[in-house]
Amino acid sequence: MASDSPDRPNAQFYKDMFKNNGRPSTASPMWAKARANLMESAFVPYESTTQDTFPDEVALALRRLGDMKHPKYDCPVYLGVTPEMPDYSEVTKAVVPDAPTPLVSVIEDMVELLDGLPNSSHPLHQPNVLPNPNKAAIIANMLANYTSQNAIEGEYAWNLSKAEMETAAMITDFITPGWSKDTAGGMFTYGGSGCYLYGLKYALAHVVGSSRCEGVRVEGKVFCSQQGHYAKMNATDWLGIGMNNYVDIDCMDDTNTMDLEDLEQEFQAARDADPPVPVLAVMCTMGTTDAFAIDPVKGVRELVSKYPNPPGYNETIIYCDAVIGWSFLPFRDYDFVENPLQFCSAVVKKIEETYVQISDIQFADAVGIDFHKTGWAPYTTSMFLVRDLDNYKKLMSRPGSAYLQARTPYNPGLYTLEVSRSAAPALAAWSTLKYFGKQGIQSIVGGVLEISQCLRALIAEEESMVCVNDTDYGFVTLFRVYKEGVNANEQYEKERTVDSKEAKLQLYRNNQYQKKIADQMWAWFRNGEKIEGLYGPYTTYTSGFRTTDYNDNMGDQYGVIYALKSYPMNISVNPTTMENMIKAFKIARAKVDSDPFPDPPSKPIAQPYGDVEPPSCGPDDANSLKITSMLSGVPGVVKRKGKRGVANSDRKDSGSKKEGCSCKCECD
C-alpha cells in the first residue's frame, strides 16, 4: 500500500486504512499500526472502560518502588541496593531507542534511577529542610498530571484554578487583619527562589515603572539581611539589577535578625547618594534556613515610610521570604495557655514567640511560601502571594495572545513569569492544607521542635558534645563533637572568645574535626556498611555557621565555627532515632580518631561535564563574599563594618578616605 499511495491522498484513502472499530487494517501502513499499538498501551483511554489497565500499571510502579525499600529493622537510609556514589560518566552517550520500549521495562528503568536515592521517609534522613512528601500531595501531583491541565488560565485548568485561588485565601486567612482575602492573591511558581524573583520583579515594576519598557536604568538598591538566602544573588543577577546592588544589612548579635539601625543608615545613604538612588525592596526573611531568624517587618515598614524614595519613584516594596517560617502561621488561633496539643512548656513558649514574630508578615507587600519545605509536599510547590493582587496585575500585565481567549475570568498567564504552568503544585498545596488541617500542621511543626529538644537533651548529657544553637527557635540542631574527655562547653566557649594564636589553632583543628566526623558519617551512609547494628545516618555539617566573637567583620577567614547538623523534618523520628544519632556520631568519632581519612565512597564520582569557578563581583574580595554569603548563623554573627553597601559603592566622592581603609583598620 505504501508504494502505491497517491501524492496527496483523498479522504477515502484514509478511511480504507482503518476498520470500523478504529483499528488499522492489515493493509495499513506501518505508521498507522505502530501508532495504534502505542495508542492502546501508552495512553489512558478517554472513555470509561473496565479494560483500563492504568490503575494496575500505577500499582505495579508503586510496588516496584516499594521493592526498593528495606525491612524496618534492617533498613539503610537509601532506596535499593547500590549505596555507592552515582556514576555520571556515561550520560553523554544517551540516545533515543529505535523502537518503543514496553511500559513494564520503562518502569523498571525508572525505578533503577531511584536505586541509591536517599530515602526521605527514613527517620535517620536528616540532612536539611528536605521533608518527605505527604500522600495527598503525591496523589494530587498524579491526578493533576493525568490530564492536560494548564494553569495559564481558567479555561485550561478549569476548577483546578480554584486550588490556586483557594490556597491563597487559606494562607491569607493567617495574615489578616493586615491583609484581606478579597484583595490578596497568589501564583504558584518554581520554588522559593522563584518567589524571590517574583517579589523583586514586583518591586522593580512598582518602584521604577519605566523599567518594564526601558529596562533597569537606575542603580536601585535591594536591602536584605546578611543572613538572608542566597536567592538574593539569583534574583538581582537574573533581573539585571546586578548583584552589586543588593546590600547586606547587618544582623543583631543576639537574634540574627536585621539590624534596624544599620538598615536606617543604608536608607539614609541611598538618600544621600549623588544622585539619590531608589530603594527597590527590603527583602525580609521569616525564618532563615539554619538560625531561623525572623526579621522585624513592622520596624522595616516604619523605615520605608520614613524614607520615601526620591521623586519619580514609588514606595519601596517589602517582600517576606517566608518559605520556611510560614508553617508557624497556622498557630494563629492556637491557645497557648490551654495548649491543647500539650507541647512541653519550653516548646509552646518557643512556638508562641515565633508566631508573634512571624505575624509581622502582615506588614509585607508580598510573601513567598514553600510547601515543599515546611509543608511536607513534593518539589516544587511554592506560592508567591501579594497583598494587593490588583496592583500587581496592573503593574505586571501583558497583552494576551491571539491564540488565547479569556473564556473564564481567571487568566494569570497575563501576569505570571511562566506561560504554560502546571496546576499540580497548587493542587498539592491545597490538598495538603485540607489533609493536615491546622491541627495537623501544628502537631507536625511542634513535633519537630519537641524531637529536636530531645536531641538537645541527649547532647547535653554528653560531656564532649555541645549544642551551639540552643537559643534558636528553628527546626535544626547544630552541635559540635570533640574528642572523648574534652569538656565541650568550656572548649566551645574558648573557641568563640579567645583571640590568641593558640586558641585559633585549636579552633581550626576542631573545625577540621567536625568536618572529618561529617565526612566519616557520609562515607558510612554511602558505603552501606552496618556498624554496631546501625546503618550510617544521613546528616551534614555547615562550614560557616557563625563567626567567632572576635571576628565580627569577617577579616579572618579561619575565625568561623563549623557545626554538625540534624534537620529532623521526618515525622517518624522518635527518641530512639535520636539516641541512635548520638551513638552514630560516637562511632564516627572513634573512626576519625583511629583513621582520620574516611574510606572514600567506593566509586569516585565521574564528572560528565567540565567544572567552572563562578565569577565574583564587587569590591569585596571573592573569598570574603563567599564566606559571608554562606554563613548560616546564630548569635554573634557578622558586623561587616567595611561591607559593600550604598555607603561604600555610591558615595565615591564623599568620605573616600574612610572607604579606602574601612576593613583593614577595623580588623586590626
For 653, the grid coordinates are 566622592
Spatial contact of 608 and 89, defined as CB atoms under 8 Å apart:
yes
Q: Does residue 189 belong to the site contacting ligand PLP (CB under 6 A)? A: no
Q: Is 570 near ligand PLP (CB under 6 A)?
A: no
Comparing CB distances to ligand PLP, the nearer of 144 and 322 is 322
Residue 288 near ligand PLP by CB under 6 A? yes
Sole binder of ligand PLP in the list 149, 172, 189, 193 (CB under 6 A): 193
Residue nearer to ligand PLP on the CB measure, 136 or 197? 197
Residue 542, C-beta contacts closer than 8 angstroms, at least 6 positions apart: 290, 478, 562, 563, 565, 632
Instruction: Name the grid cell of 71.
Output: 525491612
- Dihedral pair phi/psi, residue 380, rounded to 5°: -105, 130
**What's the closest the beta carbon of residue 376 comes to ligand PLP, in angstroms?**
14
| Closest to ligand PLP by CB, 285 or 316 | 285
Q: Looking at 236, 359, 362, 382, which residue binds ligand PLP (CB under 6 A)?
A: 382
Q: By C-beta, is 323 or 465 nearer to ligand PLP?
A: 323
Residue 421 binds ligand PLP (CB under 6 A): no
Look at residue 138 and give its three-state secondary structure: helix
Q: What residue number has its CB nearest to ligand PLP?
A: 192
For residues 65 and 39, the answer to whether their CB atoms sit within 8 Å is no
Q: How far is the CB of 134 from ligand PLP (least distance, A)?
A: 17
What is the closest distance, in whole angstroms, from the C-beta atom of residue 439 to ligand PLP in the complex? 25
**Choice from 167, 236, 285, 548 touching ligand PLP (CB under 6 A):** 285
Using the rule CB under 6 A, give the single segment among 38-46, 189-197, 429-437, 513-521 that binds ligand PLP: 189-197
Interaxial angle between packed helices 260-272 and 297-306, expressed in degrees from 0 to 180 and rounded to the nearest 10: 20
Question: How many residues contact ligand PLP, by CB under 6 A?
Answer: 14
CB of 228 to ligand PLP, least distance (A): 7
Name the residue nearer to ligand PLP (CB basis): 107 or 385: 385
Instruction: Report which secondary-structure segment, H or E, holds 370.
Output: strand 366-370
Residue with cell string 519613584: 313
Q: Which residue's entry shows cell 500500500? A: 1
Place of cell 492544607: 433
Query: Which residue, 324 or 441, has its beta carbon nearer to ligand PLP?
Result: 324
Q: Is 528 helix (H, G, I), strand (E, B) or coil?
A: coil
310-349: which residues touch ligand PLP (CB under 6 A)? 321, 323-324
- 295 or 519: whose CB is closer to ligand PLP? 295
- State which residue, 185 or 192, has the beta carbon closest to ligand PLP: 192
We find the least distance from the C-beta atom of residue 382 to ligand PLP, in angstroms, to be: 6
For residue 485 the three cell numbers come to 574527655
Distance in Å, CB of 585 to ligand PLP, minimum: 25
Asked if residue 191 binds ligand PLP (CB under 6 A), the reply is yes
In whole angstroms, the minimum distance from the beta carbon of 408 to ligand PLP comes to 29
Cβ-based nearer residue to ligand PLP, 285 or 662: 285
DSSP 463-489: TTEEES-TT--SS-EEEEE--TT--HH
Q: Residues 635-664: x/- map of binding to ligand PLP (CB under 6 A)? A: ------------------------------
Q: How far is the CB of 327 from ligand PLP (least distance, A)?
A: 12
CA dihedral sign of residues 410, 413, 419, 424:
negative
| Contact residue for ligand PLP among 133, 192, 536, 568 (CB under 6 A) | 192
Give the three-class secondary structure for 223.
strand
Least distance CB 234 / ligand PLP (angstroms): 8
CB nearer to ligand PLP: give 231 or 347.
Answer: 231
Distance (Å, whole) CA 400 – CA 412: 10
How far, in Å, CA of 6 to CA of 1, rounded?
10
Shortest CB 569 distance to ligand PLP, Å: 12
Among 231, 329, 467, 554, binds ligand PLP (CB under 6 A): 231
- What the block records as the C-alpha cell of 383 is 506560592
Cβ proximity to ligand PLP, 13 vs 230, nearer residue: 230
CB nearer ligand PLP, residue 373 or residue 644: 373
Q: Take residue 584 and report the three cell numbers written for it.
A: 552514630
Pairing state between β 477-481 and 317-321: unpaired
Residues 366, 386: contact at Cβ < 8 Å? yes
Interface with ligand PLP by CB under 6 A: which range of 34-42, 187-195, 238-246, 349-357? Answer: 187-195
- Measure the CA–CA gap between 383 and 369, rounded to whole angstroms: 5
Candidate segments 265-273, 283-291, 336-344, 356-364, binder of ligand PLP by CB under 6 A? 283-291
Neighbours of 490 (CB within 10 A): 12
Cβ atoms within 10 Å, residue 138: 16
Spatial separation of the C-alpha atoms in residues 318 and 301, rounded to whole Å: 7
Q: Could you give the maximum distance between any two Cα atoms of the chain, in Å?
A: 93
| Least CB distance to ligand PLP at residue 583 (A) | 29
Binding range to ligand PLP, per CB under 6 A, among 214-222, 284-292, 520-528, 539-547 = 284-292
Structural contact between residues 455 and 570, judged by C-beta atoms closer than 8 angstroms: no
516: nearest Cα among 488, 489, 483, 493: 483
The residues pairing with 623 across neighbouring beta strands, listed in sequence order, are: none
The yes or no reply on residue 248 touching ligand PLP (CB under 6 A) is no
221 vs 372, beta carbon nearer ligand PLP: 372
565 near ligand PLP (CB under 6 A): no
Backbone angles phi, psi at 37, to 5 degrees: -60, -45
Among residues 397, 378, 249, 383, the alpha carbon closest in space to that of 322 is found at 383
Query: 80 vs 191, which CB is nearer to ligand PLP?
Result: 191
Residue 348 vs 444, nearer CB to ligand PLP: 444
CA distances from 375 to 132, 153, 228, 325, 476 (A): 10, 25, 20, 10, 16
Shortest gap between Cβ of 461 and ligand PLP (angstroms)? 30
- Note the Cα 220 to chain centre separation in Å: 26
* Nearest CB to ligand PLP, comparing residues 154 and 192: 192
Three-state secondary structure of 535-549:
ECCECEEEEEEEECH
Residues in the chain: 668
User: Could you say whether residue 370 binds ligand PLP (CB under 6 A)?
Assistant: yes
289 lines the binding site for ligand PLP (CB under 6 A):
yes
Residue 614 C-beta: closest distance to ligand PLP, Å: 18
User: Which residues in this chain contact ligand PLP in the complex, by CB under 6 A?
Assistant: 191-193, 229, 231, 285, 288-289, 321, 323-324, 370, 373, 382
